[in-house]
């Protein structure tokens, strides 16, 4: 009698356990089907790898014409991170269609998109509208680096969102807004990579020599990048008038010993001066590789230019920066906002002392926090509040392509935000480069295999194990 009772108890307990196991497995399968059916996805990556920026979402929501995105990967070797980002674009708008083309099995497809004799190849991305198309090369899809020891290439990160959003913007909006880069005074030219990023943001960079031609009426933003010599009278008068009547300018300082009274006068009109003092960071927490002039400045998180950079966990770097001095005498309509500044442990050394080999710190050297990048607004000549806008940086190296790579795109993100601010647009970083990690090595085929194992194989094994336990206990 006791044995029969014990068997009944075990059978009943085993039956309950098996039923509960089956319920859990079925519930998991049903939930997976529901999530898949409604395309419900959550980005749980540490750095928001799959989360589209506000700028991208705003652009996608404004699209009212069809856009086709073609990735070029061999079947089964799709780059899952990139294709997942594409799927996010398509899920946001019915006007966006995404398709992968195998360039080996369909070689004729790429010939239709040949540009300048170049045919799209593996890893490239094609974006097409009804009237035009553009090809994004692989190097603008991913950050590719070369291991110098082994001479092998590897993927360091993903930057497709900035390139894709910019390409769609170009194809839909057509004409770009003009940035004129002043020349003739030893300025540092903007790098090709920065120009490409600006083009993705709807800007077209052109050079300008005011001695030979007047400042164009279609100049949206004037760039004066580290002049070594002074402005001529004609240049001074035209730039002064341009700014007074609502002009926008991005100006940087550089290490130079020549006097530049006309250039200095432009700065003084807006309450600042070139101190001609080099900022030297005294805290190892705010420099690169213990180099006290390769400063990682603190950012003003309350300013719209900086906030998206800070929230994305990025830094900027400002090598060989001169401190920006604020003048006591300035118009009441002028507002100066610090964007980037050194720590309280920093100090400055005059260029004259440095040129005379007196670089050692002394008790007479100014110390404390110093402005490195500032934003300035002023009421323009037409009475428009904040009509005149300037960004002034204490270093021209800030815009360098190689310097930008040190902080994985942080400088370019800051610069794009700065130009957007000057142009009166939303300042949400448009350049997004995510550092590579283990998940970047998973191909589409591997991703499908992992999903099948987790969603089908594991639940099936649990179900079979529960059924086996049920049968074995029933037969006891």
For 454, other C-beta atoms within 10 Å of its C-beta total: 12
Task: Give me the torsion for CA of 337, 342, 345, 349, rounded to 10°.
Answer: -100
Q: What is the CATH number of the domain that holds 128?
A: 3.40.30.10
- 168 burial type by CB count under 10 A (0-12 exposed, 13-18 middle, 19+ buried): buried
Q: Which has more confidence, 438 or 373?
A: 373
Q: Are residues 336 and 290 in the same domain?
A: yes
Q: Which has more confidence, 427 or 233?
A: 233
Q: How many domains does the chain have?
A: 3
For residue 261, the model assigns a pLDDT of 97
| Residue 94 belongs to a domain | yes
Q: Are residues 257 and 402 in the same domain?
A: yes
Flag the least confident range among 165-174, 346-355, 416-425, 463-472: 463-472
Cα–Cα distance measured from residue 47 to residue 436, given in angstroms and rounded to the nearest whole number? 11
Q: Which of 135, 164, 193 is the last residue of a domain?
A: 164
The whole-number average pLDDT for the span 182-190 is 95
Whether 251 has a pLDDT exceeding 50, the answer reads yes
Confidence of residue 234 (pLDDT cuts 50, 70, 90): very high
The whole-number average pLDDT for the span 453-460 is 69
Q: Which of 164, 197, 220 is the last residue of a domain?
A: 164
| Residue 355 belongs to a domain | yes
Confidence of residue 138 (pLDDT cuts 50, 70, 90): confident
For residue 438, the model assigns a pLDDT of 34
Q: Are residues 306 and 393 in the same domain?
A: yes
CA 84 centroid distance within chain: 18
Q: Are residues 136 and 246 in the same domain?
A: no
- Angstrom distances, CA of residue 237 to CA of 210, 266, 273, 435: 10, 10, 19, 46
Q: For residue range 209-227, what is the model confidence (pLDDT) as tens digits?
A: 999 999 999 999 999 999 9
Whether 263 has a pLDDT exceeding 50, the answer reads yes
| Residue 169 belongs to a domain | no
pTM, entire model: 0.71
| Residue 48 belongs to a domain | no
Percent of the chain surpassing pLDDT 90: 52
Whether 442 has a pLDDT exceeding 50, the answer reads no
Cα–Cα distance measured from residue 53 to residue 64, given in angstroms and rounded to the nearest whole number? 20
Q: Are residues 143 and 274 in the same domain?
A: no
Place of tokens 């946001």: 92
Q: For residue range 390-408, what is the model confidence (pLDDT) as tens digits?
A: 999 999 999 999 999 888 8
| Residue 254 belongs to a domain | yes
Whether 196 contacts 140, CB under 8 Å: yes
Q: Are residues 316 and 419 in the same domain?
A: yes
Q: What is the CATH number of the domain that holds 329?
A: 3.40.50.880
Whether 295 contacts 279, CB under 8 Å: yes
Q: Are residues 7 and 84 in the same domain?
A: no
Whether 216 contacts 180, CB under 8 Å: yes
Averaged pLDDT of the chain: 83
Q: Are residues 269 and 362 in the same domain?
A: yes
The whole-number average pLDDT for the span 292-308 is 94
For residue 37, the model assigns a pLDDT of 55
The residue segments making up the domain with residue 20 are 2-40+451-474
For residue 436, the model assigns a pLDDT of 36
For residue 469, the model assigns a pLDDT of 65
Q: Are residues 233 and 311 in the same domain?
A: yes
Q: Are residues 158 and 183 in the same domain?
A: no
Whether 463 has a pLDDT exceeding 80, the answer reads no
| Residue 59 belongs to a domain | no
Q: Are residues 111 and 213 in the same domain?
A: no
Q: Are residues 410 and 280 in the same domain?
A: yes
For residue 46, the model assigns a pLDDT of 46
Q: Which has more confidence, 62 or 1?
A: 62
**Three-state secondary structure readout of 345-393:** CCEEEEHHHHHCCCCCCCCCCCECCCEEEEEEEECCCCCCCCCEEEEEE
- Angstrom distances, CA of residue 41 to CA of 85, 160, 326, 444, 455: 12, 20, 49, 17, 15
Non-local CB neighbours of 103 within 8 Å, separated by 6+ positions: 72, 74, 109, 110, 120, 121, 122
Q: For residue range 6-64, what is the model confidence (pLDDT) as tens digits?
A: 455 445 555 555 566 666 666 666 666 655 555 555 444 444 556 787 778 888 998 99
Q: Which has more confidence, 460 or 146?
A: 460
Confidence of residue 144 (pLDDT cuts 50, 70, 90): low
| Residue 53 belongs to a domain | no
């Amino acid at each position: 009698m006791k044995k029969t009772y014990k068997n009944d108890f075990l059978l009943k307990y085993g039956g309950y356990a098996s039923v509960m196991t089956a319920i859990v497995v079925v519930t998991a399968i049903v939930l997976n089907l529901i999530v898949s059916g409604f395309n419900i996805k959550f980005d749980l990556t540490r750095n928001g790898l799959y989360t589209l920026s506000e700028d991208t979402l705003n652009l996608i929501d404004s699209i009212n014409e069809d856009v086709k995105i073609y990735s070029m990967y061999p079947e089964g070797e799709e780059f899952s991170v990139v294709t997942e980002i594409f799927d996010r674009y398509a899920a946001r708008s019915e006007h966006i269609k995404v398709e992968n083309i195998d360039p080996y099995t369909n070689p004729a497809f790429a010939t239709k998109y040949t540009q300048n004799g170049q045919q799209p190849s593996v890893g490239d991305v094609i974006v097409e509208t009804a009237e035009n198309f553009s090809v994004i090369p692989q190097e603008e899809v991913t950050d590719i680096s070369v291991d110098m020891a082994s001479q092998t290439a590897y993927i360091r990160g993903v930057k497709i969102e900035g390139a894709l959003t910019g390409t769609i913007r170009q194809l839909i909006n057509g004409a770009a807004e003009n940035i004129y880069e002043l020349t003739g005074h030893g300025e540092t030219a903007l790098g090709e990579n920065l120009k490409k990023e600006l083009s993705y943001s709807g800007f077209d960079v052109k050079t300008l020599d005011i001695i030979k031609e007047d400042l164009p009426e279609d100049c949206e933003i004037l760039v004066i990048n580290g002049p070594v010599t002074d402005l001529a009278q004609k240049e001074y008068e035209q730039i002064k008038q341009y700014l007074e009547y609502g002009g926008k300018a991005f100006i940087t300082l550089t290490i130079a010993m020549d006097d530049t009274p006309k250039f200095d006068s432009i700065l003084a009109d807006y309450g600042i001066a070139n101190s001609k003092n080099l900022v030297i960071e005294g805290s190892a927490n705010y420099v690169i590789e213990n180099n006290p002039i390769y400063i990682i400045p603190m950012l003003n998180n309350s300013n719209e230019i900086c906030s998206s950079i800070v929230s994305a966990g990025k830094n900027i770097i400002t090598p060989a920066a001169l401190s920006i001095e604020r003048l006591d005498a300035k118009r009441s309509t002028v507002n100066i906002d610090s964007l980037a500044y050194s720590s309280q442990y920093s100090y400055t050394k005059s260029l004259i002392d440095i040129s005379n080999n007196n670089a050692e710190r002394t008790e007479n050297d100014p110390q404390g926090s110093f402005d490195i990048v500032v934003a300035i607004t002023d009421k323009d000549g037409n009475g428009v509040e904040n009509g005149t806008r300037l960004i002034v940086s204490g270093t021209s190296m800030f815009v360098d392509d190689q310097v930008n790579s040190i902080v994985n795109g942080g400088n370019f993100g800051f610069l794009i935000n700065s130009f957007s601010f000057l142009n009166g647009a939303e300042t949400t970083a448009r350049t997004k480069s995510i550092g590579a990690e283990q998940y970047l090595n998973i191909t589409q085929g591997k991703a499908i295999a992992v999903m099948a194992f987790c969603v089908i194989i594991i639940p099936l094994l649990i179900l079979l194990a529960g059924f086996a336990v049920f049968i074995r206990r029933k037969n006891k």
